[in-house]
A and B are shown apart, each in its own frame.
Chain A
Amino acid sequence: DTAVSQTPKYLVTQMGNDKSIKCEQNLGHDTMYWYKQDSKKFLKIMFSYNNKELIINETVPNRFSPKSPDKAHLNLHINSLELGDSAVYFCASSHQGTSGYYEQYFGPGTRLTVT
């Protein structure tokens, strides 16, 4: 049972190209996120959508554009890729559980390498 899935797992591309990463969750969660993890393993939030509405938009170059066609999907499109975009991108989803606490689950990550 895949909870949060991402495609592709690996993406190698050249500078200047445009690429997309897709994310799907089958948990029925209302909120989805994109995070970037750099080579030092620091994890930074980029975007968050709640019920298809953008609620978090951190200081991210406007070459990055998220799109949420429905609650279960959140895609990330990157234009004019740069060397510094090389990182692992994680999708996550969250909701408020029955016990009242908020739980967040992560996808397996997409390792983007820009050459």
Chain B
Amino acid sequence: GEDVEQSLFLSVREGDSSVINCTYTDSSSTYLYWYKQEPGAGLQLLTYIFSNMDMKQDQRLTVLLNKKDKHLSLRIADTQTGDSAIYFCAERRSSGTYKYIFGTGTRLKVLA
């Protein structure tokens, strides 16, 4: 099917690392993304990874890609209360209409 799966909730303590997981559907998707949505706001592009990469690091963010299992993860180091938001993974299909398919979203709650 078209569903990109994520666990719905994650709760971590401030200062700990957060790991948000995503299972996508199309092994031919060439670009995979992580977005952050704060309450009442639009989606903010955080980072992306190209399908020929295994890992990408961007300051506190680390993206891991396991193409064989179609598994994507986002690790946030030293999680802060400002990181509390909903995180969406997305894949850009590389065939047909090249549309973006978004995951179900993971609500991250950071406890002080």
Taking a contact as CB atoms under 8 Å apart, the answer to whether B43 and A90 are in contact is yes
Q: Which residue of A lies closest to B106 (CB)?
A: A41
Tell whether A83 is near chain B: CB-to-CB under 8 Å: no
Contact of B92 among A43, A55, A102, A108 (CB under 8 A): A102
Contact of B99 among A4, A56, A90, A103 (CB under 8 A): A56
Interface size grouping (class) on chain B: 20 to 34
Tell whether A109 is near chain B: CB-to-CB under 8 Å: yes
Contact of A103 among B48, B50, B101 (CB under 8 A): B48
Tell whether A104 is near chain B: CB-to-CB under 8 Å: yes
Q: Which residue of A lies closest to B41 (CB)?
A: A108
Taking a contact as CB atoms under 8 Å apart, the answer to whether B44 and A41 are in contact is no
Chain B at the A interface: SS class? strand
> A29-56 interface mask toward B, CB cutoff 8 Å, 1 = contact, 0 = none?
0000101000001111100100000011
Interface residues of A in 100-115 (CB under 8 A from B): 101-109
A104/B45 contact (C-beta < 8 A), A41-B86, A48-B97 known = yes
The total of Cβ contacts below 8 Å across the A-B interface reads: 51
Taking a contact as CB atoms under 8 Å apart, the answer to whether A43 and B45 are in contact is no
Chain A at the B interface: SS class? strand
The CA-CA distance from A108 to B88 in the complex, in Å, is: 16
A43/B99 contact (C-beta < 8 A), A102-B31, A106-B43, A107-B42 known = no
A45/B88 contact (C-beta < 8 A), A101-B31, A102-B31, A105-B45 known = no
Count A-side interface residues using an 8 Å CB cutoff. Answer: 23
Residues from chain B with a CB closer than 8 A to the CB of A102 are: 31, 92
Taking a contact as CB atoms under 8 Å apart, the answer to whether A109 and B41 are in contact is yes
Residues from chain B with a CB closer than 8 A to the CB of A35 are: 102
The CA-CA distance from A55 to B88 in the complex, in Å, is: 24
Interface residues of A in 62-115 (CB under 8 A from B): 90, 92, 94, 101-109
Residues from chain A with a CB closer than 8 A to the CB of B101 are: 45
